[in-house]
Amino acid sequence: MRYFDNFPEGKICAVCGTGKNGKTFLVPIDGTESGGNVEATPIHADCIGEFIMPLLRYNRQVGIFYFWEHEGVKLNEPFNLEGR
Ligand SMILES: [Zn+2]
């Protein structure tokens, strides 16, 4: 999973709406696949939870995050932002 120790300058986290610095993951955006590449949106690790980050996809049109089948792992339950 692509992640960075610093949030990219000039970008906004789609979850919290800020660009504060911190560990950041890039979540693939639906409909942006092109030639094996995909556009991604930066999300703070703190904003969703690091362990589910590799499973997330972002749909910009609808404005939702959802799980994507990834490396044989499939989760169908909606995730709970409060944790369990
Ligand atoms: Zn955030």
Cα(44) to centroid(ligand 1), Å:
4
Q: What is the mean pLDDT of residues 61-71?
A: 73
Q: What is the Å distance from ligand 1's center to 68 Cα?
A: 20
Q: Is 61's pLDDT higher than 80?
A: yes
C-alpha of residue 62 to centroid of ligand 1, in Å: 18
**C-alpha 2 to ligand 1 mean position (Å):** 16
Structure tokens at 16: 């919290």
CA distance 84 to 82: 7
What's the confidence (pLDDT) of residue 64? Answer: 84
How far is ligand 1, taken at its centre, from the CA of residue 75, in Å?
Answer: 23
Summarize the confidence of residues 33-37 as an average pLDDT: 86
Predicted TM-score of the model (pTM):
0.64
Long-range contacts: 27-36, Cβ < 8 Å, 24+? 27/53, 27/56, 27/57, 27/58, 27/65, 28/57, 28/58, 28/68, 29/57, 29/58, 29/59, 29/60, 30/57, 30/58, 30/59, 30/60, 30/61, 31/59, 31/60, 31/61
If you average pLDDT over residues 28-44, what whole number do you get? 88
What average pLDDT is seen over the chain?
A: 78
Please state, in angstroms and rounded to a whole number, the distance separating the CA atoms of residues 21 and 63. 23
Expressed in angstroms and rounded, the spacing between residue 8 Cα and the centre of ligand 1 is 12
Measured in Å, residue 36 CA sits from the centre of ligand 1 at 27
